[in-house]
Amino acid sequence: MCTRPIAPDCLLCTAQRLTAWHFEDESCWVADCLVCATPMVVWRPHGLPDGDIERLLLTRLAELAAIRYPEGFWIDGERRRIPDHWHAHARPAGGFFDPSVPQPWRQAAAPLSSKGAQKTYGQ
């Protein structure tokens, strides 16, 4: 019988396997974040752990991040979208999103085909 606190409407509590999973045990799981595609460690109980547990969770994340980002990484512990369920992301050094995942909003605009003509808006 599970005695850990769970919030049925919490995306991290439900732990649906929507992205690649890299690790799991009784206390946590590590998977790619659906939003930024970086490895994310999630404490299984809904809530916030004490300092000792948090250090263990961050160590697990760092071990996997060192493999994923051999050029370096940083740990982002800010819980932006789900503030009341502890989780942290490993982000590539100097970045926020995983560089191996296409980011269409960051791709350069296609060059204009009509001899460099540009339309100016608002004039």
Look up the CATH number of domain 11-105. Answer: 3.30.428.10
Residues of the chain with pLDDT under 50: 1-2, 109-123
| Count of Cβ atoms closer than 10 Å to residue 19 Cβ | 14
Looking at residue 110, its pLDDT comes to: 46
What's this model's pTM, rounded to 2 decimal places?
A: 0.78
Specify the pairing of strand 73-76 against strand 87-92.
antiparallel
Residue for token digits 């502890």?
A: 86
**C-beta of residue 42 within 8 angstroms of C-beta of residue 12:** yes
Which tokens sit at 96? 């926020």
Looking at residue 117, its pLDDT comes to: 41
**Dihedral angle at the C-alpha atoms of 102, 40, 23, 101, nearest 10 degrees?**
0
Looking at residue 106, its pLDDT comes to: 56
Looking at residue 23, its pLDDT comes to: 96
